[in-house]
Amino acid sequence: MTGFGDAHSTKAGWTVGGGVEAALAGPWTAKVEYLYVDLGRGGSIAGSDASFKTNIVRAGLNYRF
């Protein structure tokens, strides 16, 4: 069926990013990460052409045992 994807093909994209983690006090650390994701172009619903690019920022607080 046209416009509903193809389970028999593989598509590739790419991601680049970085991050830092710093000690706070005792066993606690804090981190922040950034990712840029580009999954290229591909067909979507109803035969339109779409691209998927996004920016992701993650932050975290860690406790080391």
Max Cα distance, the chain (Å): 58
What is the residue type of 35?
A: L
pLDDT band of residue 52 (cuts 50, 70, 90) is confident
* pLDDT of amino acid 11: 75
pLDDT in tens, 3-45: 555 566 677 889 999 999 999 999 999 999 999 999 887 665 6
CA distance 46 to 60: 39
Q: Which two tokens stand for residue 33?
A: 């990460």
Give the per-residue pLDDT at 35: 97
CA distance 28 to 39: 35
Q: What per-residue confidence (pLDDT) applies to 3? A: 55
> In the structure encoding, which two tokens stand for residue 63, read together?
């406790």
More confident residue, 39 or 54: 54
What the block records as the tokens of 53 is 């690019």
Model pTM score: 0.66
